[in-house]
Structure 1
Amino acid sequence: MGLTPRKQKELPPGPAPWPFLGNLFQKDVLPVCNSYLKLVKKYGPVFTVWVGPKPTVVLCGYEVVKDALLGHAEEFGGRPDIPLKIPGTSGQGFGNSDEKKWRELRRFTLSTLRDFGMGKRRMSDRVQEEALCLVEEIAARQGQPFDPRSIITSAVSNVICSVVFGSRFDYKDKVFLEQIPRVTDRISFLRSFLGVVYFALPKIMNYLPGRHKKVIAEGQKMYTFIRERVKSHMESLDPQNPRDFIDCFLIKLEKDQSHNEVIFSHEDLVVTVLGLFVAGTGTTSQALLYSLLAMAKFPHIQAKVQQEIAEVVGTHRPPSMEDRMKMPFTNAVVHEIQRYEKSSTETFPRAMTRDTEFRGHTIPKGTSVIPLFTSLHFDPLRWETPEEFNPGHFLDEKGEFTKKDAFMPFSAGKRSCPGEALAKMELFLFFSTLLQNFTFQMNGAAEEKELLSLNVDFLNKNTYPPIQAIKRPL
């Protein structure tokens, strides 16, 4: 980043870095989601780690993260350049550094997604329909062990596809199926230690062979997939009857050009759609897959969820969003699944927009910052049994669902996830519909592993144990 020696001295304290490599290969530093307790004890809740030659300030604990993201939203609201980009797309879409352009793009995207039902009843109906398609596909496995990643990810992806492209894809569509592993591999790479190394040393890594080469090449193919669909929309566009997000963006481009107010380009459209496709496919499907592991590991919790579904919904219709308020235990389980999911965040940092005095430290403009949400979700001051999978964290003494301030799976403040409402809807409806229809079980060596260990294998190594879906009598 090119900090002067004086600026470096002003940074919060942290483990001494090696020249050039920083703390990359030092024991008990990275990933910080595994080492933060030791680092907080030694340096306090605001400390610096060096990801290669770049300093990164880590924020731990609810009060500190809340103060940064909500109390100093503008100062902590930047985003550093993410090196794992499609060649030629730098500065396009949500990755641009122009504050005015970024704000306008976020506003337009949220407004358009809401117009197409995000967070509303018709989107709920759309998710329900997809959940039933997923049930039918899983039932065809007839209780045999199978890898659910492709089919679960396809179902979740179809929801965002219906908004962005105007239609869903068949689970056997060859072109669509080619995109699914590209999305999951990309997210898995970013969350792996190799992803952290690439993020720290991209110029050097680009000269070396390795997994990053494949991820970049596959990203280019996803970009081509999106670009072809944008071109098809341009050829069939009816400005009076927009079908989806792409149509709305194209209409805006035409209007802006006629008024000489050009803010966005066609490349912004392609890159924005690519971002929505990856984000809307990857993170929600990973949480849903994690939920199946959790239910297979804790059959007593699975049985209690199924009992609540039977009492509130019955067997003759799928669960709806209106049922959620009457299903506090199921809702609590969905929240606990998100709380209990530890993940590395070194490759998804924020950046300081100006020199800032914060909690007794000076953080220079441009410095990468990691609000460590794992430190909130496993904080013993905020949760009764943070190291245990316990849906009771989200239930009061009467068994009613209760919100927790320290629960931030979608971040907070200026850079909070724009798809939060849709993700919440998908997680509840897919999860409850699957448990209404199936009981999930694990076999073999996976049965002996802890849930967090299975999650680490899933996120970092991109491995998932075969799982059985036993059809329940309806």
Structure 2
Amino acid sequence: MEIQALLIALLVALLILVYLRQLWSRRHYPPGPLSLPVIGGLWRVGIRLHEDTLIKIAKQYGNIYTLWLGHQPVIVVSGFQAVKEVLINHTEAFSERPPTPFLKAIGRERGLIFSNGHTWKQQRRFAVVTMRKLGLGKKGMEHQIQKEAQQLVETFARANGQPLDPSLPILNAVSNVICAVTFGHRFSLEDEKFQKLIEAIDVGVKFIGSIIYILYEIFPWIMIHLPGPHKKVFAAFELVLSCIREETEKHKEQPSFHEPQDFIDFYLLLIEKSRNDPNSTYDEENLAHCIHDFFIAGTETTTTSLRWALLLLTNHPDIQDKVHKEIEDVFASSCSICYQDIKKLPYTNAVIHEMQRSKYTLLFGGTRQCTKDVKVNGYLIPKGTCIFPNLRSILLDPELWKTPEEFNPNHFLDKDGNFVAREEFLAFGAGARICLAEQLARIEIFIFLTSLIRAFRFQLPEGVGKLSPDPAVQFIIHPHPYKICAVPRCCSL
């Protein structure tokens, strides 16, 4: 018994020494929740994540704090000045994505979102240039978006003013914009292949931020051998890539080198041109991953923003009526509105910005990784450290916004009713990794929303007092399922 007691005492002493050594080795990191063995600081986050969890921790530990996910440190940066310091003032130092086990497994360090270094720079530069060639910001791409908006209006109209769930029709419309840009054609809503494609993308997006996702990032060597939702995500990811490769093969059968029409055409042309360039990263696998990233970045967030917009406007009929009146006062006899017209609609512009501020669609901004040791606000952030820029903390900061918890378009209007751009509006991120699809998303939201508001008055179903403004919290912060009545406006339909 004495020997057993001695062994136990030695074991306890050893664990204490290991723990103290761990604390000493982490002394240079910003303060944060106590890191426990195995789970790190996850005890402070809890099993069920809330949209304001990271903001509440910042109130206790400051705008730059360390949250240990197992043995991995994550620096959470909150507040406008601290985030600006990281993403803008040190943009090159924080231009990489952390190659975490799960993201590395699905992204394979290819494409636009999950690549780094030379590969990322080449892929992003090509994507930016090609989107311009395809008409982003010009009439060509807007015409495609207007066609999808009209299809969406017709889908809503078929409900005849009865309660409908707008989620799937919106997702189909937004996804078809990406299909038109990348594949050169849209799918019919009944197309089985199209339905499988958007379902697979949805599976992947909803997995990010879940408890199983976090466990995979901490214990990949265990999780890779266990059954669970992560296996379904890997299968869904392969299904999307398979669909993209199939579309690529169709383009190769009928090459359009002289008159490229879509993203695949332009990419295949570049592969051919750079075939003898040893520094080229242009190949069909990077092409497939780039298009997959377009679907990730270009469908779920825009769809979620539009779902929030309809919910908020239904809950605030006075604001909805003011938007409709402004549109009709300016464009009563016009058949269509283009994105440039947003300058003539200051109140509508303010409502869209306020919707994106008050119902920011991400739990936090896209993760970054330090490329070198950097000192921020007096704290040394070591090279290779993962960064969470908490954009939500800026968009809901009571020191920046008069009524941060309310849907208040006046946040973006001056006393004369003119639209005011706010530096603190970072819904699309900032710096080198600012959202590539920002302009496309802005155009889509504006054209889809104005088309719907002109065609319908959105009302609560009979017996429903209010739609729940509370979010369903995952990495994408989306509304709970709801139904609304799209009542046709006689002059529009």
Query: Could you say whether these structures have the same fold, taking a TM-score greater than 0.5 normalized by the shorter chain as the test?
Result: yes
Q: Secondary structure at the match of 2:435?
A: coil
Counterpart residue type for residue 309 of structure 2: S
CA contact (8 A) 1:182 1:219 kept: yes
1:298 is aligned to: 316
Q: Secondary structure at the match of 1:56?
A: strand
Q: Secondary structure at the match of 2:26?
A: helix
Q: Kindly state the Cα deviation for residue 266 of structure 1 after the two structures are TM-superposed.
A: 1.4
1:133 and 2:151 equivalent?
A: yes
Deviation readout 1:409-441 (Å, 9 max, x if unpaired) = 110001101111111111111111111111223
Q: Secondary structure at the match of 2:74?
A: strand
In structure 1, distance between residues paired with 2:128 and 2:489: 39
2:191 is aligned to: 173
Identity %: 36
Q: 1:267 aligns with which of 274, 281, 285?
A: 285
Q: Which moved more, 1:50-59 or 1:459-468?
A: 459-468
Deviation readout 1:285-315 (Å, 9 max, x if unpaired) = 1111111111111111111111111111126
1:214 and 2:232 equivalent?
A: yes
Write out aligned runs for 1:223-242 (5 A). 223-242=241-260
Q: Which moved more, 1:161-170 or 1:405-414?
A: 161-170
In structure 1, distance between residues paired with 2:193 and 2:367: 32
1:472 and 2:481 equivalent?
A: no
In structure 2, distance between residues paired with 1:70 and 1:261: 28
Q: 2:411 aligns with which of 381, 393, 400?
A: 393
Counterpart residue type for residue 243 of structure 1: Q
Deviation readout 1:231-259 (Å, 9 max, x if unpaired) = 11111113112121111111111111145
Counterpart residue type for residue 220 of structure 1: E
CA contact (8 A) 1:119 1:421 kept: yes
- Pair 1:459–1:85, CA change in 2 (3 A): closer
In structure 1, distance between residues paired with 2:171 and 2:473: 18
Q: Supply the RMSD in Å over aligned alpha carbons.
A: 2.6
Q: Kindly state the Cα deviation for residue 323 of structure 1 after the two structures are TM-superposed.
A: 2.1
CA contact (8 A) 1:76 1:351 kept: yes
CA contact (8 A) 1:60 1:371 kept: yes
Q: Kindly state the Cα deviation for residue 120 of structure 1 after the two structures are TM-superposed.
A: 1.9
In structure 2, distance between residues paired with 1:43 and 1:108: 41
Q: Name the TM-score, length of structure 2 as normaliser.
A: 0.89
CA contact (8 A) 1:192 1:344 kept: no
Q: 1:383 aligns with which of 401, 419, 434?
A: 401
- Pair 1:27–1:445, CA change in 2 (3 A): farther
Q: Secondary structure at the match of 2:143?
A: helix
Q: Kindly state the Cα deviation for residue 26 of structure 1 after the two structures are TM-superposed.
A: 3.0
Deviation readout 1:337-369 (Å, 9 max, x if unpaired) = 110124554694111111111111111111110
- Pair 1:369–1:362, CA change in 2 (3 A): same
Aligned residues: 471
Q: Kindly state the Cα deviation for residue 397 of structure 1 after the two structures are TM-superposed.
A: 0.6
Q: Kindly state the Cα deviation for residue 203 of structure 1 after the two structures are TM-superposed.
A: 3.6
Q: 1:90 aligns with which of 108, 118, 121?
A: 108
Q: Kindly state the Cα deviation for residue 130 of structure 1 after the two structures are TM-superposed.
A: 1.4
- Pair 1:454–1:361, CA change in 2 (3 A): closer
Q: Kindly state the Cα deviation for residue 210 of structure 1 after the two structures are TM-superposed.
A: 3.1
2:11 is aligned to: none
CA contact (8 A) 1:59 1:369 kept: yes
2:69 is aligned to: 51
Q: Kindly state the Cα deviation for residue 216 of structure 1 after the two structures are TM-superposed.
A: 2.2
Counterpart residue type for residue 258 of structure 2: Q
Q: Secondary structure at the match of 1:93?
A: coil
In structure 2, distance between residues paired with 1:117 and 1:39: 44
Q: Kindly state the Cα deviation for residue 131 of structure 1 after the two structures are TM-superposed.
A: 0.6
Q: Secondary structure at the match of 1:9?
A: coil
In structure 1, distance between residues paired with 2:238 and 2:269: 26
Q: Name the TM-score, length of structure 1 as normaliser.
A: 0.92
Q: 2:94 aligns with which of 49, 52, 76?
A: 76
In structure 1, distance between residues paired with 2:478 and 2:101: 21
CA contact (8 A) 2:306 2:449 kept: yes
1:403 and 2:421 equivalent?
A: yes
Q: 2:332 aligns with which of 309, 314, 317?
A: 314
Counterpart residue type for residue 470 of structure 1: V
Q: Secondary structure at the match of 1:439?
A: strand
Q: Secondary structure at the match of 2:302?
A: helix
- Structure 1 runs of 4+ off > 6 angstroms? none
In structure 2, distance between residues paired with 1:357 and 1:127: 44
In structure 2, distance between residues paired with 1:395 and 1:251: 46
Instruction: Structure 1: state its 5+ residue gaps.
Output: none
CA contact (8 A) 2:106 2:237 kept: no
Q: Secondary structure at the match of 1:10?
A: coil
CA contact (8 A) 1:196 1:346 kept: no
Q: Kindly state the Cα deviation for residue 33 of structure 1 after the two structures are TM-superposed.
A: 4.3
CA contact (8 A) 1:332 1:395 kept: yes
1:184 is aligned to: 202
2:430 is aligned to: 412
In structure 1, distance between residues paired with 2:404 and 2:476: 20
CA contact (8 A) 1:290 1:455 kept: no
